[in-house]
Amino acid sequence: MDLSSNLILVIIVTSGATFASRFLGILTAENLSDKSKLFDWFNCVAYSILAALIARMVIFPAGALLESTLLIRIIVILISAIVFIHSKKNLVLPTILSFILLTFLSNIY
């Protein structure tokens, strides 16, 4: 098989594996009320999974972030979070700031 059709297969497989979870969610939730206990549990789990994902991205990163140190990542994240809280929860400012800060810091160290 040539490379190009192989790549297309890879994209189809990835999209299928991703869509499966989304679709399964719709099927599970079909008769679920937002007042039910089960909905409440799924909601808690969803938030908890996202928090675990964020923590992993920062503490045990993959890819480009591996080239920065944990200390610098935590400093950049803390500064951005402080800016977020003190800017009436503006999200554009801390996101731009985090990019500039880490690009700058990783050029120095």
Partner 1 sequence: MINRKYFYQGLKSLISSRSPAIALACSFVALGALMHNAGFNLQQSAASSFFTYALPGQLVMTESFLVGASLVNIFLSVWLVNFRLYPMSVALVPILKHESQPRWKYYLSCHMIAVSSWLIMKETYKKIDQKYRLDYWLGIGCGTLSAAVISTLIGFLISDYLTKGMMIGLAIVNPVYFLCMMIGAMNNLKIIVAVLSGGLLGPIFYLATPEWSILIAGIVGGTIAFFIKDKKNGSI
**By CB under 8 A, what part of segment 51-90 binds partner 1?**
51-65, 67-68, 73, 76-77, 80-81, 84-85, 88-90
Please give the biggest Cα pair distance in the chain. Answer: 56
CA 22/CA 16 separation, integer angstroms? 10
Q: Residue 31: is it exposed, middle or buried by C-beta count within 10 angstroms (0-12/13-18/19+)?
A: exposed
Is the CB of 53 or the CB of 71 nearer to partner 1? Answer: 53
Is the CB of 63 or the CB of 71 nearer to partner 1? Answer: 63
Size of the site for partner 1 (CB under 8 A): 82
Give the footprint of partner 1 on residues 9-28 (CB under 8 A).
9-26, 28
